Amino acid sequence: MLTTPILTSSALPPCPSHPTAFNNLAIQYALVGNLPPDSDLSFWVLPPLKTDGSAVGA
């Protein structure tokens, strides 16, 4: 399952002292009601790491 469909995004306001810098930052978060139940292990269990430290399938 991808997390993209359950994420909510909130744009941060521009910095008054630097209005043209970092003016497209946003915070992404998941609302608790949008998360799958704890019993959905396909979402909550992380894939194993390969020996180089990256995730399997990455």
Q: Give the model confidence (pLDDT) of 3-40 as tens digits.
A: 678 889 999 888 888 888 878 889 999 898 888 898 98
The pLDDT value recorded for residue 22 is 77
Q: Give the whole-angstrom CA distance, residue 50 versus residue 6.
A: 28
Q: Give the whole-angstrom CA distance, residue 43 versus residue 37.
A: 9
CA-nearest of 41, 29, 57 to 1 is 41
The pLDDT value recorded for residue 29 is 92
